[in-house]
Amino acid sequence: MDILEGLNGPQKEAVTTTDGPLLIIAGAGSGKTRVLTHRIAYLINVKKVSPYNILAITFTNKAASEMKDRVEKLLNASVKNMWISTFHSACVRILRDGAERLGYKRSFVIYDTSDSISLIRSCLKELNLDPKYYEPKGLLHTISRAKDSLMDPDTFEKETANDFRSKNVASIYREYQRRLKQLNAMDFDDLIMKTVELFKVHEDFLLQYQNMFRYILVDEYQDTNRAQYELIKILSKRYNNICVVGDDDQSIYGFRGADIRNILDFERDFPNAKVIKLEQNYRSTQKILNAANNLIAHNKGRKGKKLWTEYEGGPDIVLYKAEDERMEARYVVSSIIDLINRGYSSSDIVILYRTNAQSRAFEEELAQYQIGYRVVGSLRFYERKEIKDIMSYLRVIQDPSDEVSLLRIINEPSRGIGEKTIEQLTEYARSNGISLYEAAKFAGDTDLSARQVKGVLSFVNIMDQLISFKDDVSISALVELVLQKTGYLEILKSENTPESESRIENLNEFIGAAKEFEKDNPDLVLEDFLANLALVSDIDSLEDGEGVVMMTVHSAKGLEFPVVFMVGMEDGLFPISRALDNDEDMEEERRLCYVAVTRAKERLIMTYARTRNLYGRTMVCIPSRFIKEIDIPDFAKEPFKKRSMSVEEPGKVASSKEKYAVGMKVMHKMWGSGIIVQVKDMGSDKELAIVFQSVGLKRLSANIAPLKVEEG
């Protein structure tokens, strides 16, 4: 098979220019992933490069596994051991190899954001600083940015202002790093920073990896931060075969430390670099691309490119002015009903907003008309309490000296171990130079009351038992044992609320993830599972399914939909108020808007409201400046039938897989649990009458209502 078949001119050139620095500017929908995967295949099949000499880096696990799949298909061979991974996973792999040179144990644990925040809280306590004036979240952000720029605490102290507060922030950073090392832990930013440090200090170690990674590819280069830039710069220095792919117009993570200068200055940083632009778009109509091109032309800090397509036709872009946010939601939902009547599937449609809080009005309106929907990413899987709890249990089983995790679960579920008890145990641990967990074992020797000792020992007993099971049972079985022995599951079951049910569901999903991990990696153990888990967080990322999709513009990056609604197009909301008086922020907002526009394949509908309730006050809004900037004569006035709320022809709507019957218990997304009291046959659909605990009797369509049948 010819690897170059079906590629356009610039794409071909991007695939075959294998040696030397190469920057590929890949516009939205220009076949970027295609180029990357074909390039890897070309290196291996045509250039006879060993797969082990290639390092391909992406930003998300999803992107990495997608790339792996596609390369495997192209090569018709497994690439399981190839280095196609995220920055973070690649660094973990390197650090497991070299952490000992930095004074960490090979088995270091990875802290996620909330672990880091708890640790900062504990540092503040240690330093006697008030969390009111030193907000842990803000501190983590500051520290994180420092690490993104490769500033250690000493450099940080020198580089920042010489005032009292900054000095304290520097000492918090120093204390935080000291504690992390003591706990044998690294946070997300350490993974990159420490890898760079390792390479800078140990030349032999660096040489080994430089020789290994003779060809380096980086995806989403516009989103790299300083540390990531240094990492690839240092790794590619010997062979100089560095290919980066990105779109400066889609850099939207500046607030997380992404530095757009990395892509803008690539040619300066890597002399003799070749630049290839991919401007032909295979996704959207020309009308949508015109809007995108017009908008982004208002940015100054960019390389400049113009997307084009062979698809000239397409419907006009729609602009709708609503009286307020409720009317906005009504218009959007009535348009959705109309589109479904015309044959679109609900899953073809996405509602994009700037802030998560905006989803509410649309959820309510969609639920009212029984249209299924999915909200993406407001609360992520690994941030849920029950998942954090089970993860903490597993971490303590793996390493009882992991104090942050221990503190999280020592009284979860409640066993009467309160603040006082923990304080005394910590004191005992300090004065005897032992870990908190060991101190708990000796609870009987402390001056705790009999009741306190009982609680602590019952916890230690359960944990010791679980630890003894660790090496003998599978990971998923261990998870189930934890849930059972600690009584965690039982307590959730007895609560019997929609909330507890969903927690149980999440825990089952977690067990499922553990089983999958065992299947994919039969030779790996709990330690590996935990390391993997800290980095794989988007278990509930968008899967194929039915229902209108709702998400922030940020989470929409990389996705495409036939129909895109961009809502809340008002100055102060999008662009967000904080960007109004800052040119740099405004340009990032504009790029964000560009990302939103370029998600649309066929139809783009923008809406704004004249007034909007914000924090209980009614605000008068002005239309987003981006609407003017898009400046196209193609805006249609009233393209949809006004408020046609009835669905005469269901069109291509969700088919109900479940069979409903009177007496069944069901769960509704909005209204919680209810019981079916009547089922009416309506041809291809069924009308269900359901009595909900929360709202009483409702009549819903079986085909489109977001319902789940409860067991039993």
Partner DNA sequence: ACTCTTGGAGTTTTT
Partner DNA sequence: CTCCAAGAGT
Which of the residues are catalytic? 32-33, 219-220, 250, 599
Q: Report cis status (omega within 30 of 0) of the bond before 413.
A: yes
* String marking each residue 572-591 x if it binds DNA according to CB under 7 A: ----x-xx-----x------
Minimum gap (Å) between residue 291 Cβ and DNA: 22
Residues 342-401 within binding reach of DNA (CB under 7 A):
354-357, 377, 380
By CB under 7 A, residue 95 contacts DNA: no
The pair of structure tokens assigned to 574 is: 């999008």
Residues 394-433 within binding reach of DNA (CB under 7 A):
411, 414, 416-421
| Contact range with DNA by CB under 7 A, out of 4-12, 326-334, 547-555, 633-641 | 547-555
By CB under 7 A, residue 113 contacts DNA: yes
The reply to whether 28 sits in an annotated binding site is yes
The pair of structure tokens assigned to 604 is: 């783009």
Instruction: Name, in order, each residue with C-beta under 8 angstroms of 695's C-beta and a sequence gap of 6 or more.
Output: 671
Strand, helix or coil for residue 537 = coil
Please list the residues that pair with 186 across neighbouring strands. 110
The reply to whether 29 sits in an annotated binding site is yes
By CB under 7 A, residue 565 contacts DNA: no
**What secondary structure does DSSP assign to 109-131, as a single string?**
EEE-HHHHHHHHHHHHHHTT--T
Minimum gap (Å) between residue 506 Cβ and DNA: 15
Q: How far, in Å, CA of 532 to CA of 536, rounded? A: 6
Minimum gap (Å) between residue 701 Cβ and DNA: 27
By CB under 7 A, residue 304 contacts DNA: no
Among 12, 88, 287, 669, binds DNA (CB under 7 A): 88
* Of 289 and 534, CB closest to DNA: 534
* String marking each residue 171-190 x if it binds DNA according to CB under 7 A: -----------------x--
* Of 436 and 688, CB closest to DNA: 436
The reply to whether 32 sits in an annotated binding site is yes
Minimum gap (Å) between residue 538 Cβ and DNA: 4
Element (H, E) at 585: helix 583-597
By CB under 7 A, residue 228 contacts DNA: no
The pair of structure tokens assigned to 320 is: 């709708």
Residues 117-156 within binding reach of DNA (CB under 7 A):
131
By CB under 7 A, residue 62 contacts DNA: yes
The reply to whether 313 sits in an annotated binding site is no
Among 208, 484, 497, 613, binds DNA (CB under 7 A): 613
The reply to whether 33 sits in an annotated binding site is yes
Residues 323-342 within binding reach of DNA (CB under 7 A):
none
> Which one, of 643, 557, 624, 628, lies nearest residue 597 by Cα?
557
| Residue 599 burial by Cβ neighbours in a 10 Å radius (0-12, 13-18, 19+) | buried
By CB under 7 A, residue 61 contacts DNA: yes
Sheet holding 685-692, edge to edge: 696-701, 685-692, 672-682, 665-668, 707-709
Among 4, 201, 255, 432, binds DNA (CB under 7 A): 255
Q: How far, in Å, CA of 157 to CA of 159, rounded? A: 6
Q: Are 598 and 283 in contact (CB under 8 A)?
A: yes
Provide the CA 263 distance to its chain's centre, in angstroms.
23
Minimum gap (Å) between residue 421 Cβ and DNA: 5
By CB under 7 A, residue 536 contacts DNA: yes
The reply to whether 607 sits in an annotated binding site is no
* Of 418 and 545, CB closest to DNA: 418
Which amino acid makes up residue 357? A
Count, residues in the chain: 712
Q: Are 190 and 178 in contact (CB under 8 A)?
A: no
The reply to whether 377 sits in an annotated binding site is no
The pair of structure tokens assigned to 216 is: 């380096």
By CB under 7 A, residue 86 contacts DNA: yes
> Which phi and psi (to 5°) does residue 707 adopt?
-115, 150
Minimum gap (Å) between residue 23 Cβ and DNA: 18
The reply to whether 712 sits in an annotated binding site is no
Residue located via tokens 């900037």: 629
Q: Are 444 and 461 in contact (CB under 8 A)?
A: no
> Which one, of 566, 627, 593, lies nearest residue 251 by Cα?
593
Binding site for DNA (CB under 7 A): 59-62, 86, 88-89, 113, 131, 188, 220, 223, 253, 255-256, 258, 354-357, 377, 380, 411, 414, 416-421, 452, 455, 535-538, 551-552, 554-555, 557, 576, 578-579, 585, 613, 615-616
Binding site members for ATP: 26-33
